[in-house]
């Protein structure tokens, strides 16, 4: 468990609308309102499809409460953008982690787990476990 600080969650999509909708869905299904700091980082600065290092860095800074930041992405170049930011070392808050998880299910699991006060490793594990959710 954390020291009372909650892990922040950043949702990176190529679409601003998708990132915002998944953030809204995860918080709504988790039933935590705005308790868990979640920020969408979708699209480009100009509102187009794509990813933006600047938007991702700003979103991560906005959710950082000192317990770590879990970043979930939708598709390939979003992953590459986050990896590049992590490699630079000074663009993202300390203890920011790229989480390999399904975007929607992982986001819900991450928010639910973060709401319990779990640490970054537990939030990541819950999101990753979402790969095992079966629908049939």
Catalytic residues: 14
Number of neighbouring beta carbons within 10 Å of residue 56: 25
> Using alpha carbons only, how large is the chain's radius of gyration in Å?
13
CB 12 within 8 A of CB 78: yes
Length of the chain: 136
Strand ranges inside 74-116, DSSP E = 96-98
Task: List the Cα angle 7/109/43 in 5-degree steps.
Answer: 75
Tokens of 20: 């915002």
Tokens of 34: 């705005």
Residue 121 to residue 133: CA distance in whole angstroms? 19
């Amino acid at each position: 468990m954390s020291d009372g600080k909650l892990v922040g969650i950043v949702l990176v999509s190529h679409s601003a609308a998708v990132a915002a909708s998944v953030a809204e869905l995860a918080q709504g299904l988790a039933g935590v309102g705005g308790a868990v700091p979640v920020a969408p980082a979708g699209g480009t600065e100009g509102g187009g499809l794509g990813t933006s290092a600047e938007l991702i860095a700003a979103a991560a800074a906005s959710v950082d409460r000192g317990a770590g930041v879990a970043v979930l992405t939708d598709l390939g170049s979003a992953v590459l953008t986050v990896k590049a930011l992590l490699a630079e070392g000074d663009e993202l808050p300390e203890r920011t982690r790229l989480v390999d998880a399904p975007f929607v299910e992982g986001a819900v699991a991450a928010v639910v787990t973060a709401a319990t006060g779990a640490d970054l490793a537990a939030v990541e594990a819950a999101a990753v476990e979402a790969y095992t959710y079966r629908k049939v």
